Amino acid sequence: MTPCGWLNPNMSKYVARHPKTGKPLNFEKEVDVETSLKPPESKWDGYELSIFELKELYENILPLAIGKIREYKLEHLDLDGKNILLNRVDGIKALPRLNNKNNDQIYDALILGLNDNLAEIRIASLQILHICACRKPDGLWDILAELLDDDDADVRKTAIKSLIASVPIFPSGCEVLLYIELRHELKYRRDGAWKALNELLKKWPEAAMNHLDVLSRDDDVDLRRRASKLLSNVANRKSAIAWDLVGWALQDEDDQVRDNASKAIRTVTHHEPRQALIFAEMALFDTFKPVRQRAVQALERLGASSRVNSLIIRGCRHSDLEIRMNCVKMLPRLMSEDELRDLSFELLNKEKNNQLKEILTEYSKDDQLEGNEIQKNKYLAPAEPIDPLEKEINKDVNIKIKEKNEGS
């Protein structure tokens, strides 16, 4: 194996496991390890180094990373015509580039850097923490938790970035840390954790939904609101957990939570219409107007069925004028003319809004009896077809009559 070997080829086969059962989590999309685990840029990137220069360089990365040597001069000129000088920070950032046979030494160098007195060394170590954790994660999450509370602001910011990078790769390893950070009193810490949860939802949906399951029942309304904003993404997945999350949120006591959850109904209509109908039924008679409107929009997309028809008819009797108006306007697409006329008569008896009364009155009219001449003609029986022989005889008779008239 060459000294310039990159990452462990088995990293992409990392399997996230449920923290309680230990069973592998199902996932719909493989984690993109190659992009998320790419080492930081180095000063020699972009330069054509010989195999001998690379060999000597990689032999000095570990001594440089642990501080055994202060700097290393690469016998290669940069754009300014000077030799490239590498320091300890450069050595630490290059640790993931070393071969797998150095895993224990890489781990020791990383631990040393994470506990260093210099902030720049801790920052450099945090930048490669999630990469090196794929080789040996022992105790790294405890150190990351400590560095999230570091005295140096730049170290704390880098620690949050490290958490965001680590959570989608190690959902079970970071579960407790993410749980704490999602509820942290400092806003920038919470925001970082929610970004991590959003990334986790893309990579390991089931692991993310386990967090959302707990968050959706939390007493803190802000947590429930933020969790409900992710439900549109959750609704893309055909999962009983996903349906439960949307259903619970639609019954939440907070208007904003229900509003966010109602946005997921549209997503569900595309791939699970029966489930979307259940959600629409829950939302149609909600006390919050935007939620009701989205329920009506969902019913419009679902099309005609006995249950949809029943819901729309119930909506025609709703106390909210806009809901009644929207449902009444959908009636002609669902019913025959006779059914529409009968229902319109029934609704007219209780309707008080003048605009709706006009619409219902129009629906209740029998065009065959009360329509204009054009409308009445639509119901006339078509004329019987003329027999071809009779048509030919009439033609001959007409010709003879015409000739007789001309002769006289």
* Helix or strand (DSSP H, E) at 142: helix 140-147
As a whole number of angstroms, the distance between CA 106 and CA 246 comes to: 45
As a whole number of angstroms, the distance between CA 405 and CA 365 comes to: 52
Residue 225, in any domain of the structure: no
As a whole number of angstroms, the distance between CA 131 and CA 93 comes to: 10
Rg of the chain over all Cα atoms, to the nearest angstrom:
36
Per-residue pLDDT at 182 = 96
Q: Which of 312, 289, 287, 310 is nearest to 299 (CA)?
A: 312
Residue 89, in any domain of the structure: yes
pLDDT in tens, 126-181: 999 999 999 999 999 999 999 999 999 999 999 999 999 999 999 999 999 999 99
pLDDT in tens, 205-227: 999 999 999 999 999 999 999 99
Residue 392, in any domain of the structure: no
* Mean of the per-residue pLDDT values of the chain: 84
Residue 227, in any domain of the structure: no
- The tokens 């360089």 sit on which residue? 57
Looking at the whole model, is its pTM more than 0.75?
A: no
pLDDT in tens, 9-54: 344 344 555 555 665 555 444 444 334 688 888 888 877 788 888 8
Residue 304, in any domain of the structure: no
For β-strands 83-86 and 72-77, DSSP reports them as: antiparallel
CB 4 within 8 A of CB 39: no
Residue 282 pLDDT greater than 70, yes or no: yes
Query: Of residues 226 and 236, which shows the higher confidence score?
Result: 226
Residue 179, in any domain of the structure: no
Q: What φ, ψ does residue 283 adopt, rounded to 5°?
A: -90, -20
Residue 121, in any domain of the structure: yes
Bridge partners of 85, per DSSP, are 73
Q: What φ, ψ does residue 406 adopt, rounded to 5°?
A: -70, -35
Q: What is the mean pLDDT of residues 367-378?
A: 57
Angle formed by the axes of helices 153-166 and 175-182, nearest 10°: 120
User: 293 to each of 251, 259, 305, 328, how far by Cα in Å?
Assistant: 16, 10, 20, 14
Which range of residues forms the domain containing residue 108?
A: 1-170
- The tokens 């969790």 sit on which residue? 227
Query: Of residues 403 and 35, which shows the higher confidence score?
Result: 403
Residue 271 pLDDT greater than 60, yes or no: yes
Q: Which of 288, 314, 311 is nearest to 298 (CA)?
A: 311
Q: Specify the number of domains making up the chain.
A: 1
As a whole number of angstroms, the distance between CA 122 and CA 147 comes to: 9
Residue 283 pLDDT greater than 70, yes or no: yes
pLDDT in tens, 132-142: 999 999 999 99
Burial of 386: CB neighbours in 10 Å, binned 0-12, 13-18, 19+? exposed
Residue 404, in any domain of the structure: no
Q: Cα angle vertex 150, ends 149, 155, to 5°?
A: 115
